[in-house]
Amino acid sequence: MYEQYYHRVYYTALKVTKNPCSAEDILQETFLKAYGKFEEVRDEGKVGSWLSTIAHRKAIDLLRKEKKAVLLPIEEIPLSQPIAVNPESDVERICEHHHLEEDVKKRMSTLSPKLRAVFQLSYYKELQEKEIASYLRITPAAVKSRLHRARQAMKEKLEKEISHYSTA
């Protein structure tokens, strides 16, 4: 079955993702899912269509996941929540979380000290604007302004990196 439908599934995924590496991942996921559900197929003449549908849906799911990862507002990144490590944990999820956390820290280190202080108190300590203002002895308006500028600066750095990688 793999040899017969490999190309069809691969090109279905490639058409949606426009990325050969992603298409290969989807190809593998498609056949793994198909292997577990093959007994449910009633008409063997429609296996190719069935596999293409699985690949197409998995490709769309991947694009949605990537879009969420790129477009997720910085204030929604749960950096302060530790991940419990146990034998049943999803290793990829843990690694991705740590990678994201390191990425944010790296970008944050390029902020000016004033912006960095407000950003850290807001996202790592989860303080409200009034609490940050009291802690830093500045006005709540200054906190709001600095948070906005910090988010904008980090967003611009991320967009530059994304455009750099997409043109490379």
Q: Which CATH architecture has domain 2-68?
A: Orthogonal Bundle (1.10)
Specify the pLDDT at position 80: 46
pLDDT at 155 over 70: yes
What's the mean pLDDT in 51-71? Answer: 77
CATH 3.40.50.970 fits 106-168, yes or no: no
Model confidence pTM above 0.95: no
What's the mean pLDDT in 29-51? Answer: 80
In this structure, what DSSP letter does residue 40 have? Answer: G
Alpha helices per DSSP H over 18-139: 20-37, 47-71, 91-108, 113-123, 129-136
In this structure, what DSSP letter does residue 78 have? Answer: -
